[in-house]
Amino acid sequence: MSMVSLPGLADMIDNISQERNLPKPAVQAALREALLKGYERFRRTQRLDGTQFDDTYFDHVEVELDIEEEGFRVLATKTIVEEVSVSDREISLKEVREVAAEAQLGDTVVLDVTPERDDFGRMAAIQTKQVLAQKLRDQQRKLIQEEFQDLEGDILQARVLRFERQSAIVAVSSGFGRPEVEAELSKREQLPNDNYRANATFKVLLKRVCEGPHRGPQLQVSRADAGLVVYLFENEVPEIEDEVVRIVAVAREANPPSRYVGPRTKIAVDTLERDVDPVGACIGARGSRIQVVVNELRGEKIDVIRWSPDPATYIANALSPARVDEVRLVDPEARQAHVLVPENQLSLAIGKEGQNVRLAARLTGWKIDIKDTAKYLRDLEASHEATPETDETPESEAVSVAEAPVEDENLVEETVPEADPEVEENDREPLTESPA
């Protein structure tokens, strides 16, 4: 049988396998497919007898690699017929019986159709090279997808490789001893206080594994996802890992809309153990535990608050560190609440550019309207004097947090629904007014 020589075939397969972190069988399979495409190109350029080749014309042809002899052969499976109409697929019975007298019509034989090296042609060689590169990329995508598809939402250790536009390209690994794979950390998933210098290492959350053809890295990772905060607390607080303390909800603003506001997170925790303080367990002695989380997030502000089944108490806790006088649930069905605070607590309750109340709304799932206590009571008294027939105001009702549907994608475990994160402009107007 003839063979097209490929000097250095074994070394080439070894080098590709090491450079692209692919097993040798995968490289060999890609090379066979590429050589088959090259053979198709060779046959199409010949156009013998004006034959038109459809997409399935070469399904009966395969390439056989000979690693030891460093070359390849092209083999075609042909059907034995009385009279040949398509020479690439058929062979005459008379011709076969010259070497095999027992051959019968309808049988199939495998023939060597390897072209001469000089006949293979430059265009066929170029086609082979292009297809090989594409097949190797496809093999890499397939292996990456198989390796990481079950790790979405998990935390990985990342190392910065380079920058492409505004994205940081990092190297991640699925486990100890596994080869590193490139992943993309886009601008919106970065933290403003991070320093992405070359070879810097930090923890990231695997957000998505892209399927099919995709330009750039196939893995998308994040430093801004709320799941990263949950992992850091679970890793640092033994009571959470032992399920003594549970994280009920997380609201995070890692990339605030204004550069004058820093990243901030509010996390609600709870416990069924009477002797355990869930907030204190997360903070640690002299803040030792929470400081580790803050350091990993490069100084991000974190508020740990106690979850409560009573919406009024939960809302008051969520507005920490502001001191709240009263929470009135004005419309439990629409989940709207008025929060009364002293005048000197207004700015603290609202937060810089509304960040504190915005995160509290996301955390609790209620639309929160901050009011100055003194002005609110005066306005309420004035409205009662103007309409004496409506002296009795409807009594506020408490709504169980567990009955509400989950809407916030950042809330984890037993979470509460997310309210509109933005405080409407007409709701903010009374916040800036000073008492009359």
Look-up of token digits 């933290």: 191
Q: Which helix (H) or strand (E) holds 296?
A: helix 288-296
Regarding beta strands 71-81 and 4-5, do their DSSP bridges make them parallel or antiparallel, or are they unpaired? antiparallel
Amino acid identity of 268?
A
How many whole angstroms from its chain centre is CA 428? 36
Per-residue model confidence (pLDDT) at position 406: 36
Per-residue model confidence (pLDDT) at position 216: 65
Per-residue model confidence (pLDDT) at position 35: 86
Per-residue model confidence (pLDDT) at position 212: 61
Per-residue model confidence (pLDDT) at position 418: 43
CB half-sphere exposure, 362, CA atoms < 13 A: 21
Q: What is the pLDDT along the chain (436 residues), one digit of tens a residue?
A: 677 778 888 888 888 888 887 888 888 888 888 888 888 887 777 765 555 666 677 788 888 888 888 888 888 888 888 888 777 778 888 888 877 778 788 888 888 888 776 666 666 778 788 888 888 888 878 888 888 888 999 999 999 999 988 899 999 988 777 788 889 999 999 999 888 888 999 999 999 988 766 666 789 999 999 999 999 999 999 999 999 999 999 999 999 988 889 999 999 999 999 899 999 999 999 999 999 999 999 999 999 999 999 999 999 999 999 999 999 999 999 999 999 999 999 999 999 999 999 999 999 999 999 999 999 888 888 888 777 554 444 444 433 333 333 334 444 433 434 444 443 333 433 333 333 3
Provide DSSP, 215-260. SS-SEEEESS-HHHHHHHHHHH-HHHHTTSEEEEEEEEESS-SSTT
Look-up of token digits 């199409």: 44
H helix and E strand count, the chain = 14, 16
Look-up of token digits 């190392």: 159
Regarding beta strands 301-306 and 245-253, do their DSSP bridges make them parallel or antiparallel, or are they unpaired? unpaired
Look-up of token digits 């002695």: 285
Q: Which residues contact 89 (CB under 8 A, 6 or more apart)?
A: 60, 76, 78, 79
Nearest-angstrom CA–CA distance, 209 and 270:
33
